């Protein structure tokens, strides 16, 4: 057992003991060299004293190295801190030598004559230079051997020659499994151009051309610039997407692990950075005040929007949080994530919003103050031929929740809608518009404040276009786009969730909140940019295939319907939609009839939907035949606001 212990520890620590021995040997040689330097490379000194002095020098050096731990550094990763440790060791060694010399003068402890102070000083300087040089020589030899053994290593540029860029270089070179060679830095400051940092040249940003990349065989450009605005970053990245390189990015300093950048944190830049819109941040939020000591229910809590809502709500001082979803596995994953992040004041319930008895029991037991309703079927082509399920959850499910909210005196009901509810051309959009209309009808009860949020596509959500494109790129393509001119509005999941929470805070009932989402994005251009960001060429390496519009799909989405307008709020990015006035009694009656007919599988459900929503005209679908004899809806000349603006 003892033998195994010794073998294991010798193997483990052999390298640092070897470094210690080499360092001591260097100090011995440096001591001899210091005499030669002092006496002009002659032997005009008492050479006979060296056999007595050298063991003392070796002993003192060993003690100094052991006390400072300078020998423990990994030599092939030598950095400034290691040189600092060597400096401390040399200083300590010099002090100990001087003390020994003084003691020997007083007490004559040793049998050798005194060592001149000049020799000790010269020995310190030569020793420091020799030890530092040995570290860098070994490091250079190691890197040279490694580089020669890596015939397929990547050649990269680091964009940013500041502190962050230097740290990025260290993270790359110190990573044991990295097969990357940093060719140079690119910096916007032309004064740095032509200089070197750690032996790596700095280039001006004007040098970064396609010819430069090709001639130097550059495969990646890593952006390592802190405190840069998204707009500026997007401009820099867009200048590279046409070049045959992959573009990566270093995360913000606050996201580094224990304040240190790890090689694994350098990730490929996301397509979100190329969208023609700046991220929206909610400021002066009243969310904390609104959620304080409240019982909150989130339906569809395991979905893309719902789960992010839950994550953000967890940061506030609520009383309790009930998360409802029928997707057991996704709900379990969310539950484990929240627990690992230290959140425990929540309850995950597997349930279906179409089950009125189950929901009634939940409302009765928990008596919620706020309901965030994000549960829905959302995939347009799938719902086009599954209208029963679309109506059952998007309309009937919303109806159940809204009715129970009034019954149990819920303060606020926030409904997550979609831009597909505007002038709908498909069953999914039609059901969401009908749900909006039912919400408006319930607002007339004046018990619960019903609020609707309406926004476009969410980046990275389940089934959205960007994850689909990523999978298609991983498989070698082609990317599929339904039409070359199709456009969509985009926002991130956190932005969408912030909108819903902010709407819940500012809403006073009856509003349809609409986000200013900037310009719509052409999906074809989005696909091309994603291909280029991966360092691939379009169409030589990955092509884009036009598949044709899917059933119910629009060329472009809208945030306002015919006869609708907007009014401002205290936040410049959030508006209130002014919608045309409804006949609430008739609308509610027709919606009740729709739910009953759907329950009994009556064939007139889609026709009834089109009656409830006159602007619902099917597109590229078998359901278009229902519009054949239908007169186009008349525009409403007089627009009456059915909402009111919250005055902060």
The Cα 468–Cα 604 span in angstroms is: 35
DSSP-based three-state secondary structure for 561? coil
| Orientation angle between helical segments 117-149 and 80-107, nearest 10 degrees | 150
- 539: tokens are 């169409």
Round to whole Å and give the CA distance between 490 and 488. 6
Choose, from 246, 378, 420, 578, the residue flagged as catalytic: 420
Measured CA to CA, the distance from residue 155 to residue 68 in angstroms comes to 37
Taking the C-alpha atoms of residue 371 and residue 8, their distance in angstroms, rounded to an integer, is 61
Pairing type for strands 512-515 and 565-568 reads: unpaired
Q: What is the dihedral of CA 335, 338, 342, 344, to 10 degrees?
A: -50
Gap between the Cα atoms of 502 and 281, Å rounded: 11
| Side-chain-side CA neighbours of residue 192 (13 Å) | 20
Q: What is the C-alpha separation between 144 and 12, in angstroms, rounded? A: 25
Residue 354's contacts (CB-CB under 8 Å, 6 or more residues apart) are 392, 393, 396, 397, 400
Give me the residue label for tokens 């890593």. Answer: 222
Question: Alpha-carbon distance 545 to 484, whole Å?
Answer: 9
Residues 62/65/69/75 CA torsion (nearest 10 deg) = -100
DSSP string, 572-590: TTEEEEE-----HHHHHHH
Sheet holding 200-204, edge to edge: 196-197, 200-204, 180-187, 154-159, 220-223, 246-249, 267-268
Burial 370-394 (b: 16+ CB within 10 A, else e): bbbbbbbbbebbbbbeebeebbbbb
- Cα 318 from Cα 622, distance rounded (Å): 48
Give the helix, strand, coil percentages of the chain, each rounded to 5: 50, 15, 35
- 119 beta partners: none
Q: Are 453 and 296 in contact (CB under 8 A)?
A: no
Q: What is the distance between the terminal CA atoms of the chain, rounded to a whole angstrom?
A: 76
Spatial CB neighbours of 57, under 8 Å, sequence gap ≥ 6: 27, 28, 31, 97, 123
Contact between 271 and 466 under an 8 Å Cβ cutoff? The reply is yes
Measured from the Cβ of residue 578, the count of other Cβ atoms closer than 10 Å reads: 18
Active site residue 420: yes
Q: How far is CA 638 from the centre of its chain?
A: 46
**C-alpha–C-alpha distance, residues 304 and 284, integer Å:** 25
CA 160 to chain centre: 20
Half-sphere exposure of 241 (CA within 13 A, CB side): 22
| Token output for 379 | 């995939």
- Cite the active site residues: 420
């Amino acid at each position: 057992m003892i033998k195994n212990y010794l073998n294991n520890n010798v193997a483990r620590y052999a390298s640092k003991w070897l470094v210690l021995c080499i360092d001591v040997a260097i100090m011995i040689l440096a001591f001899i060299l210091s005499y030669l330097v002092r006496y002009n490379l002659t032997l005009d000194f008492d050479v006979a004293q060296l056999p007595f002095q050298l063991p003392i020098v070796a002993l003192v050096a060993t003690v100094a190295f052991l006390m400072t731990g300078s020998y423990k550094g990994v030599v092939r990763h030598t950095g400034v801190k290691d040189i600092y440790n060597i400096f401390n060791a040399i200083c300590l060694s010099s002090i100990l030598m001087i003390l020994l010399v003084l003691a020997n003068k007083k007490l004559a402890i040793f049998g050798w004559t005194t060592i001149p102070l000049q020799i000790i000083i010269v020995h310190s300087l030569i020793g420091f230079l020799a030890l530092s040089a040995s570290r860098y020589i070994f490091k250079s030899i190691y890197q040279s051997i490694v580089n020669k053994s890596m015939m397929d290593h990547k050649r990269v540029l680091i964009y940013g020659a500041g502190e962050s860029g230097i740290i990025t270089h260290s993270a790359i070179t110190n990573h044991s499994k990295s097969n990357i060679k940093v060719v140079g830095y690119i910096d916007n400051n032309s004064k740095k151009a032509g200089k070197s940092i750690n032996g790596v040249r700095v280039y001006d940003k004007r040098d970064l051309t396609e010819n430069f990349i090709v001639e130097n065989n550059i495969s990646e450009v890593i952006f390592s610039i802190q405190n840069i605005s998204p707009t500026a970053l997007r401009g820099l990245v867009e200048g590279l997407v046409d070049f045959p390189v992959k573009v990566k990015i270093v995360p913000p300093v606050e996201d580094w692990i224990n304040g240190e950048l790890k090689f694994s944190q350098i990730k490929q830049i996301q397509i979100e950075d190329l969208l023609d819109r700046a991220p929206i941040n909610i400021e002066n939020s009243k969310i904390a005040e609104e959620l304080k000591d409240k019982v909150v229910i989130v339906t569809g809590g395991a979905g893309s929007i719902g789960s992010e809502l839950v994550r953000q709500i967890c940061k506030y001082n609520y009383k309790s949080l009930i998360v409802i979803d029928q997707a057991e596995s996704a709900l379990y994953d969310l539950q484990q994530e929240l627990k690992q992040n230290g959140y425990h004041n929540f309850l995950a319930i597997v349930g279906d919003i179409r089950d009125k008895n189950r929901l009634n029991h939940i409302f009765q037991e928990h008596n919620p103050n706020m309901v965030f309703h994000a549960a829905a079927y959302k995939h347009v082509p799938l719902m086009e031929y599954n209208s029963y399920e679309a109506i059952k959850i998007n309309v009937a499910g919303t109806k159940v929740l809204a009715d129970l909210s009034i019954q149990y005196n819920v303060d606020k009901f926030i409904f997550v809608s979609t831009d597909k509810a505007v002038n709908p051309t498909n069953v999914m959009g039609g059901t969401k518009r009908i749900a909006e209309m039912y919400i408006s009808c319930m607002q007339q009860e004046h018990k619960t404040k019903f609020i609707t949020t309406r926004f476009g596509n969410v980046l990275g959500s389940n089934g959205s276009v960007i994850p689909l494109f990523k999978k298609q790129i991983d498989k070698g393509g082609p990317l599929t786009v339904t039409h070359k001119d199709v456009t969509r509005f985009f926002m991130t999941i956190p932005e969408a969730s912030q909108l819903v929470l902010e709407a819940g805070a500012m809403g006073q009932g009856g509003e349809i909140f609409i986000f200013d989402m900037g310009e719509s994005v052409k999906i074809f251009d989005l696909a091309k940019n994603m291909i280029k960001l991966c360092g691939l060429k379009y169409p030589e390496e990955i092509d884009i295939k036009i598949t044709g519009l899917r059933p119910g799909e629009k060329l472009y989405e809208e945030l306002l319907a015919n006869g609708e307008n907007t009014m401002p709020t205290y936040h410049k990015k959030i508006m209130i939609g002014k919608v045309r006035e409804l006949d609430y009694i008739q609308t509610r009656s027709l919606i009740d009839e729709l739910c009953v007919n759907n329950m009994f599988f009556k064939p007139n459900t889609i026709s009834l939907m089109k009656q409830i929503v006159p602007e619902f005209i099917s597109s590229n679908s078998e359901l278009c035949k229902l519009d054949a004899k239908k007169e186009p809806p008349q525009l409403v000349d007089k627009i009456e606001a059915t909402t009111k603006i919250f005055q902060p």
